[in-house]
Amino acid sequence: MRSHGAHSPARVARVARAQRRRFLTRSRITIGDLDGIQLAYLDQWARCQAAVELIDEYVAEHGLIRTDGSPQPAMSLYGTLSNSARHAMKALEASLKLDQRGEPSMVAVLQGTATRKNGST
Q: What is the pTM of this model?
A: 0.75
Q: Which residue has the higher pLDDT, 121 or 23?
A: 23
Nearest alpha carbon to residue 85 among 27, 36, 20: 20
Q: Taking 50 as the threshold, does the pLDDT of residue 118 lie above it? A: no
Asked, for residue 3, whether it belongs to a domain, the answer is no
Asked, for residue 2, whether it belongs to a domain, the answer is no
Handedness of CA 98, 44, 78, 19 (dihedral sign): positive
Residue range 67-84, pLDDT digits in tens: 999 999 999 999 999 999
Asked, for residue 1, whether it belongs to a domain, the answer is no
What percent of the chain is helix, strand and coil (3-state, nearest 5)?
70, 0, 25
Asked, for residue 4, whether it belongs to a domain, the answer is no
Q: How far apart are CA 12 and CA 8, in angstroms?
A: 6
**Which whole number is the average pLDDT over 34-45?**
96
- Domain limits at 22? 9-117
Q: Taking 80 as the threshold, does the pLDDT of residue 99 lie above it? A: no
The total number of structural domains in the chain stands at 1
List C-alpha distances in Å: 112 to 27, 53, 104.
20, 35, 11
Cα 11–chain centre separation:
16
Q: Taking 50 as the threshold, does the pLDDT of residue 14 lie above it? A: yes
Asked, for residue 113, whether it belongs to a domain, the answer is yes
